[in-house]
Structure 1
Amino acid sequence: MYPQQVHSYLQQFFTENDCYIVGEDHHYLTVQLTVDIDKRIMNRPFYWQYVEATNSEPNPAQVTFITNQTASAGSLYGEVIHFGSPRMNQLFQATRELGAYVQMYEKVDTAIGQVILTPWLGVNYKVSYCCDRTKEMLYSFGINLLTGIIKEDFHETLYATELDTVPAEHVFHVQYIIKPIRGLQRLDAAIEEIIAQDDHSWATEAKKRWQRDQRVLDYFYEDVDDKPECYNIEKKALEEQYDAKIKIEIINGGLFYLY
């Protein structure tokens, strides 16, 4: 996941959860958290216990998240956040808890006349390439449930669109032709196609490292005919460490009616 993808994800997460973005550039965000988001991601349980016990005025944190440390070049004080970092994982977990699925409608000016909104299914995926090293990527796809057109980087479209949980008056939203479950299957196939075309030399290299460490292990026990249990335990540990796996996880998604 590239820094710009992380940046876009943070923008969308904090905006949708009513956290005011105090300032930003292409490599950082300064955000005023709400009480709820502070409790979810800032690891301050004792502070919030004290506030609630004494009925004190809450003071949720204001945080600067640096999404591209190279661009900031040490000139900015804040928390560096990247894909795979503990804070990023907390944001993913908060997203799951706050609602893995939403249905939203684009806000439009009805003064222009009758407005028709088209249904899109949007899904954010996390793809993890796992062995003794891990590489993770975030993909955001949308599929038009009338035409079947698939759009990549769909989160950028949503971030640039003002949305509401209820449609405006005098706005007509078209019923989908492609069922959401079928749309999800097409998006799953699109993710699988990306994975199939990717460079998988990482798995081959992991297997070579596995074989190297297995030879070292076998060397220490080469004169032992009846291998002890510790040998089997170490052999199994090597398998778990180096065995190449690809995990596809849906972070969240929703049905979006767009103009």
Structure 2
Amino acid sequence: MNSKQVHRFVVSYLESKECHFIEKSPVGVTVKLSPDADRALSNRPYYWSFVDRTGSPPETMTYRWSFENPAMSDRMNASNVSYVLTESGRIIQEDVYFGSRRLHQLFGVVQQSGRCVTLFEEPPRGRLDPFASQPYTAWLGVNFKVGYECDMKREELYLWGVSLATGIIEERFMDKLKDRRLTPRLPANVHLLKNGLSLRKGMAQLEAALERRLRTADFSWAVEAEARRQDELERIRQYYDPMLEHMNHPDQMEQKEAVTARFKQREAEIDWQYKPRVSVSVLNCGIFHLPGLD
């Protein structure tokens, strides 16, 4: 990410959390965090537990974030955090760039808070009858990550959606969303149609469709990985079997048990490294209310 992309990402997050911008420029922002953003970013759990217990009005922190990318030598030789005292209080100054701890924290916060969202498409402005109500249908969108794993790894992403009204599955759901303006607030003059599917049934349909897709995939990589696994197992058997065969003396029983344990451990390590497997996980999901009846 370059500095402009970092700037756009950070400002977008702060706006979504309704933070108060004191100063904004192309190279940095000075912002007073909202309570939600302060809880997520300031690392003050004891302060917020005190606020929650006593009901005191919270005093959130103010940051001045610079998005200019410092030279590598500056990153190594100086702290990227400093403090400025003003009449309104203390301002914490930080450099926020790709690779910085603050940006890494923001990525984690956004990923955690955005794992499940509810969004509505904004209707075109000025084109709708103010006295009419437009029907919206709910879609369940799920971002699946499929991992093909052995001693090598390949990952694929599937962002699929299912209409909770009709059960239609859209495998190019991202294309359906990318040109739409989405908002977390229900727009005016919109009514939501009743769902024909529950979230559980919609998710089950997506999982079944993804499983059918994966069953038709090319698994030659798994055959090759299994062959490599057997080769590695045979190699360690040729090493350990003769050693164990010669440990028949009663005085060698303790040593034999130790060697057997190492042998089993090496087999387990080879299984973990080479055994082919397919893993499926959900990165994030959302309910998207879109105009129409499909």
TM-score tier (shorter): 0.5 to 0.7
From 136, 139, 155, the equivalent of 1:136 is 155
Aligned to 2:278: 246
AA at the equivalent of 1:55: I
Measure, in 2, the Cα distance between the counterparts of 1:241 and 1:193: 27
1:194-229 deviations in whole A, cap 9, x for unaligned? Answer: 111101111111110011111111122232225612
CA drift of 1:170 comes to: 1.3
Q: Does 1:212 align with 2:231?
A: yes
Give the match for residue 119 of structure 2: 104
Q: 1:176 aligns with which of 192, 195, 202?
A: 195
Shift of 1:157: 2.2
Cα distance in 2, alignment partners of residues 158 and 15 from structure 1: 22
* Structure 2: runs of 5+ lacking an equivalent: 16-25, 32-36, 42-66, 68-74, 248-255
Residues 43-192 of structure 1: pairs in structure 2 closer than 5 A: 50=82, 55-61=91-97, 94-109=109-124, 111-113=127-129, 114=132, 115-192=134-211
**What amino acid sits opposite 1:161 in the alignment?**
R
**Matched residues in 2 for 1:159 and 1:32: separation?**
28
Secondary structure, aligned partner of 2:241: coil
Distance in 2 (alpha carbons) for counterparts of 1:15 and 1:176: 36
- Which has the higher Rg, Structure 1 or Structure 2? 2
Q: 1:78-108, CA deviations, whole angstroms, 9 ceiling, x for partnerless residues?
A: x9xxxxxxx99x95x5554123111111000
Q: Is the 8 A contact 1:32 1:60 kept in 2?
A: no
Aligned to 2:242, the other structure's residue is in SS state coil
Aligned length: 208
- Are the aligned partners of 1:95 and 1:251 in contact in 2 as well (CA < 8 Å)? no
CA distance in 2, matches of 1:144, 1:150: 7
CA–CA distance in 2 between the matches of 1:48 and 1:231?
A: 50
SS in 2 for 1:120: strand
- Checking the alignment, whether the CA contact within 8 Å between 1:19 and 1:32 is kept in structure 2 is no
Structure 1 CA distance, aligned partners of 2:152 and 2:208? 26
Residue in structure 1 matching 2:266, options 225, 234, 242: 234
Q: Report the identity percentage.
A: 25
Seen in structure 2, the aligned counterparts of structure 1 residues 14 and 140 have a Cα distance that, compared at 3 Å, is: farther
In structure 1, the gaps of 5 or more residues are 1-9, 21-30, 64-78, 80-86
Distance 1:124 1:143, change over 3 A: same
Q: Which amino acid aligns with 2:118?
A: Q
Equivalent pair of 1:120/1:257 in contact (CA under 8 Å): yes
In 2, the alpha carbon distance for the partners of 1:158 and 1:204 equals: 38
The CA deviation string for residues 20-51 of structure 1, in whole angstroms up to 9 with x for no partner, is: 9xxxxxxxxxx999997xx7xx9x9x957545
Give the secondary-structure state (helix, strand or coil) at the position aligned to 1:55. Answer: strand
Deviation larger for 153-162 or 246-255: 153-162
> Are residues 19 and 107 of structure 1, via their aligned partners in 2, closer, same or farther at CA, if it must alter by over 3 Å?
same
SS at match of 1:112: coil
Counterpart contact for 2:147–2:153, Cα < 8 Å:
yes
The separation in 1 between residues aligned to 2:82 and 2:283, in whole angstroms, is 33
- Range with greater deviation from structure 2 (144-153 or 93-102): 93-102
Q: What is the deviation of 1:242?
A: 1.2
Instruction: Supply the RMSD in Å over aligned alpha carbons.
Output: 3.7
Deviation at 1:52, TM superposition (A): 8.8
Q: Is the 8 A contact 1:107 1:162 kept in 2?
A: yes
Letter of the structure 2 residue corresponding to residue 108 of structure 1:
P
Structure 1 residue matching 2:195: 3-state secondary structure: coil
User: After superposition, what is the alpha-carbon deviation per residue over 1:120-179, rounded to whole angstroms, capped at 9, x for unaligned?
Assistant: 111100011111111111100011111111111312322211011111111112121111
Q: Is 1:257 the counterpart of 2:294 in the alignment?
A: no
